Amino acid sequence: MAPASSELRLPKPSDFEGSVHHTSAHDDYTSAQAQLNQIYAGAISGALTRTITQPFDVLKIRFQLQVEPLSKHNQGKYTSLWQASKLIYHEEGLRGLFKGHNAGQFMSVVYSVGQFWSYEQIRAIMRDSPFMSTHMNTMNFLAGGFAGCVATIFSIPFDVIRTRIVAQDPGQGYRSMFHAVPMIWRTEGIRGYFRGLQPTLVQIVPLVGFNFMFYKKFNEMLMHTPLARNELLPTWVLLCTGGAAGVASKAVVYPLDFVKKRLQVQGFEQHRTKFGRTQRCRGVFHCIELTMKDEGVRGFYKGMYPTLIKSGLMTAFYFTIYDRCKLILYHYYHLGKGRTPPAQS
């Protein structure tokens, strides 16, 4: 029988992100209280980040679903980031830039909780491997990739609903997220909630894997500079490293995100009559074939600019808010209740 611990050990600064050491005890990540801290911090991070980045998400989705080229010399509805922002505001008001926010908020919270909790637990298991404990980049990439898959499977129904609400004509389609849920069930069955899952999972492994790997690596490099104080990096530095990790990772996998969005609005064309031509895809490879034929290679990068802005902001806030909230929660439970459940035999 292992001895019961009477209090939650307050992790050292080196236990947290932004530290060069980051070698905390196994129980700091797998105890019941530690897992609750990860869930709380993940939920707060997801909710705040979604609110900040929602307008960029609306612009990205509108660009990705427009078949016509994004150019002033063509007949497409949207031609540039600034023009699209003004047009959406003129036609739909400020609410137009926050279309799908409720579904997006649900998606973001579920995804963030699933991603960070899974990552911490998977990495705690991987640390027991002699190989992984000496190959941190590989461990962070694999743990991040697996965590992204877990989070995506649980959150993609909200992503499908959010995408359709953003993409539909004003006053058409779904009135709200709660209206969309039964409508999709009646017209498409359970498969409707998981449209685009295949390319999403293909995309998410390298995306989230690189996110975690780059973020950890950038922080480790900066820990050897005067920016680090008391083995911790300032919040503004974490925002910068998170943003850089998000932009680099998203640029690599962006075409897969484009294909996913095209697939998620299949069967929803009747509610998108005011956005120009639509594309009927039977699957991933058919979507790629049609896009190459109609739009060329550049078509796969439509909406990339708002996406990179959004991805940089989102990753920066996701990681920074999560890390700082987790630190606060560890301090709170140590100084407040200061207890953990008894150790298991």
Residue 26 is given by DSSP the state T
Question: In this structure, is residue 345 part of a structural domain?
Answer: no
8 Å CB contact between 302 and 64: yes
Evaluate if pTM is beyond 0.75. no
Q: How many structural domains are present in the chain? A: 1
Residue 3 is given by DSSP the state P
Q: Amino acid letter at 278? A: T
Query: pLDDT band at 75, cuts 50/70/90?
Result: low
Question: In this structure, is residue 247 part of a structural domain?
Answer: yes
8 Å CB contact between 85 and 97: yes
Q: How far apart are CA 328 and CA 332, in angstroms?
A: 6
The pLDDT value given to residue 240: 96
- pLDDT of residue 212 exceeding 90, the answer is yes
Q: Which of 10-14, 126-130, 144-148, 266-270 has the lowest mean pLDDT?
A: 10-14
8 Å CB contact between 116 and 157: no
CA distances from 184 to 33, 109, 174, 195, 267 (A): 38, 22, 10, 11, 10
Question: In this structure, is residue 196 part of a structural domain?
Answer: yes
How far out from the chain centre does Cα 161 lie? 16
Question: In this structure, is residue 16 part of a structural domain?
Answer: no
Q: How far apart are CA 115 and CA 150, in angstroms?
A: 7
Q: How far apart are CA 78 and CA 71, in angstroms?
A: 8
The token duo for 132 is 């992984």
Q: How far apart are CA 7 and CA 331, in angstroms?
A: 12
Q: How far apart are CA 89 and CA 67, in angstroms?
A: 21
CATH of the domain at 246: 1.50.40.10
pLDDT tens-digit profile of 248-269?
999 888 888 888 878 877 766 5
Question: In this structure, is residue 14 part of a structural domain?
Answer: no
Domain that holds residue 162: 25-66+76-335
